[in-house]
Structure 1
Amino acid sequence: MVIVAGHVVVDPRQRESYLAECVSVVDQARRAPGCLDFAISADLVDVGRILSFERGEPQACTH
């Protein structure tokens, strides 16, 4: 299992529109083969910080 966590910083005035634009990204990622979970959410303390979390199966090595 592979877990990737991170964040991006956005203008706090753009937070809600940024998150709204991410809905299709989250939906598409969750339907991808090997994806076990994918989430993008607003930080509850820092209004300019957007958190991302992905959990998935490791890709098979092809070489």
Structure 2
Amino acid sequence: MKRIENAEWFKSSHSNGNGQCVEVAHLDGAVAVRDSKQQTGSVLTCAPEGWRAFIGSVAEEAL
């Protein structure tokens, strides 16, 4: 089981390096999100379906 302690974090390829980024990790049955500036801080987790819905709604707003 992949846990937060063993997570492989990544930033969006659209990240411009200005420090205003989030990092995402795919866990077993969950997606984890954290502030790239606070890597030892809080982590938000959600179901993969919830993450897909969030990303879909953000993409729609960007159009």
Q: TM-score, normalised by structure 1?
A: 0.25
Higher strand share: 1
Higher relative contact order (Cα pairs below 8 Å, separated by 6+ residues) = 1
Q: TM-score, normalised by structure 2?
A: 0.25
